[in-house]
A and B are shown apart, each in its own frame.
Chain A
Amino acid sequence: MTLTQAVRSTAVESKAQRRATRTRTETGRAPSAYYWMVWPAVIAFAFFHTLPVVVGIFFSFTNYPGYGAWNFVGLSNYVNLFKDDRVLQAYGFSFLFAIVATVLTNAISLAIAMGLNAKIRARNFFRGVYFVPYVLAILVIGYVFQFFFSNSLPKILSGIPLFADNILTNETWAWTAIVALAVWQACAFSIIIYLSGLQTIPAELYEAASLDGASSGRQFRSITFPLISAFFTINVVLSLKGFLQVFDPIVALTNGGPGTSTESVTLLIFRGGFSGGEFAYQTANAVVFFIVITIVSLFQFRVLQRREADF
């Protein structure tokens, strides 16, 4: 199944399900080869994903420090979470970061994808170039960016106090540097999805529109954007989910600092749980975070799919 189909199938899921039921009753069970493919995946998923999640939820009701003895403590980990201003600050930072980064990533990558879809010289070369950031390891890039922000920029822009004094150590603006790195890397993948969406639009539509005298802005609003709206949905949902869980760009650039001003929820869970010795408490935090992300993603799907164009 191609990505295009995958994206579209979300919209026509219910119809497909009904059809699938009918098909199955008509033709009987599938050949055993399919079971050989499905079962290992189910077992591996359950063993490496579902089971640890369940174990984690279990430990969030205890006072387990990561080793040694423990007791059940009921809901007190959850109660304490809501009283912890450091946790609330981390949620605030994660959401601010995720929303800004999602907007920027989608705006920039849609623009670049349209450029790469046009008939330009050396098109394949540029498509390759824009995909490179996705291939590179984020920690490696992170250290390059860190050098750039703390050594190069202060020299290049020595006239601007914000940059001259290393933006990464500025409590108010350090997060923008992390946004820059995260967006720079995330664009590569979004561009690919937008490109594949743009290629599903038949050229005849544009020909017809230009014969009718539609401006390029009008063409974008009335043809391009509605026809790739399913791709827009998937990109926005994936971006927001990914950016909410931001971790490695922060580790590479500021490590949560200065102070705790760039501490995301995942960084807090990692720090408090592993080096802070509060395994059970941060597991409770992880459970809450999991629920929050699920709700946000479902909400987005509902809102965005409602305004997707039907084909």
Chain B
Amino acid sequence: MTPNPCRIGRLATIVAIAGIVAVTGGCAANPSDGVTTLNFFQFKGEALEDFDDMIAGFEAENPDIKIVQNQVADADTLIRTLLVKDRVPDIITLNANGNFGRLAQAGVFKDFSEEPVLRTINPAVQDILADLGTFGDEVNGLGYVNNANGVIYNKAIFAEQGLEPPETWDEFLAVCDQLQAAGIQPFYGTLADSWTGIPSWNALGAYPAQDGFFDKMRDEGENVGPDSEVSFEKDFAEVMDRQYQLYSYMQDGYRGRTYDDGNAAFANGEAAMLLQGIWATNPIKQVNPDIEMGIFPYPTDDAADRLLVSGVDVVFTMGKESPHEEAAMRFIDYAFRTDVIETFAASQNMVPSVEGAQLSDDPALQSVKPFFDNGQITGFIDHQIPPAIPLIPTDQQFLFDGDVEKALRTLDSEWRKVAARTIPVTTGDDQ
């Protein structure tokens, strides 16, 4: 039998039609009964129910708007894909990390600078967002709730030893020595999870990183090194020394323990302090609901210079030129209402960004309140470091071997390499 060309042709047609059906079948027409349906892109899995409650409250007051929450895993990747396809969700929440900054710089988000809601937000929070990157002078996101990265301490142990949260570096070391002398483990180290070294690095590094350190680093680019105006080798030696000093107060075998081990041990009173942030308080309470914790910022030489490292955990934004801009803004205004944000922040154990919104009476949150009130907060510095630089493994390695020079040399050389191979996109207009 000879092959039948018609048959092959027919087969190709069937395959092609099947493909078209599969691609277009997913689209559904918008209902046109006067109700605007908004697509709400939401990254935070643990806040799913809180947002459901918020939406229910909003829809009760605004019957002409319906909001569909899309909670996704790996939101950073998905939002990029959606932006490439020009299918921008009507309302977006993201974690304000370096990725958010790069998207904002690309000019894909709305400019909120004329919105009245902006004036209700703590300016220090908006500064953290602006540091990540914006499109020109625009305001591309609204900080919603913040976390706090400090030293968590066990209030009962501190009271028993007659200790106060230290304010200067020397006091900090004195506290550690006193605890050790009393047979109490000062810290619980968890380096089997490599990232657990980073919170303390971020907090100690926040001090030399003030005054535009990373702007200068970006200007230096390929020339970053021991002889450039700024560099890790030049400005971060003390940070590394201090971090290593803190790790000398860890328990035996801290290299093999994980984040979960650390939370459980701290909850059971096996250590007086934990080099983590406010995100650890929930898992700790799950182990021991009765524990009393506080958080203090990492001390530096002068008590007045102390800064609390805080990240914007949830940022609200929306696409530029969204067709449902007015409706989406109504939802955002609702979300930033004092009572709404207070409920959300209390449930998520975070600090609300709206000025005048009350913190929950959780003692850990209350202990960081003054720093937010005084604007003594600063952002996570690892958000300023290109993700292609292996910062977490390098710091973990450093905490293992204590080789300051090697670690800083690695960071500088990775910075140079990334700067050298990052070729900016040129558009036709530039040429």
Chain A interface residues toward B at CB < 8 A: 29, 31-32, 35-36, 39, 43, 63, 66-71, 73, 76-77, 80, 83-86, 150, 154, 164-166, 168-169, 171, 255-261, 263, 272, 274-278, 281
Contact = CB atoms under 8 A, between A and B. Distances in A.
A187 to B, nearest CB: 27
B396 interface: yes
A75 B328 CA distance: 45
Contacts of A154: 253, 256
Interface centre among A29, A166, A256 (most CB of B within 10 A): A166
A259 B423 contact: no
Q: Classify the interface of chain B: helix, strand, loop or mixed.
A: helix
Contacts of B255: 165-166, 169
Given A29-B3, A77-B421, A259-B397, A165 B253 contact: yes
Given A29-B3, A32-B3, A32-B7, A276 B388 contact: yes
A255 B417 contact: no
Interface residues of B, number: 45
Contacts of A257: 194, 393, 396-397
Contact of B387 (A85, A150, A276): A276
A32 B7 CA distance: 10
A259 B396 contact: yes
10 contacts: A29-B1, A35-B3, A169-B400, A256-B393, A257-B397, A258-B194, A260-B394, A278-B388, A281-B388, A281-B421
A68 B84 contact: yes
B192 to A, nearest CB: 6
B4 A150 contact: no
A165 B427 CA distance: 54
A70 B106 CA distance: 12
Given A35-B3, A260-B390, A277-B102, A71 B81 contact: no
A275 B421 contact: no
A203 B418 CA distance: 63
A294 to B, nearest CB: 25
A150 B253 CA distance: 10
Nearest to A275: B387
A175 to B, nearest CB: 14
A133 to B, nearest CB: 25
A76 B423 contact: yes
B256 A166 contact: yes
A29 B390 CA distance: 58
Contact of A67 (B83, B420, B421): B83
A278 B426 CA distance: 17
A226 B297 CA distance: 70
Contacts of B3: 29, 32, 35
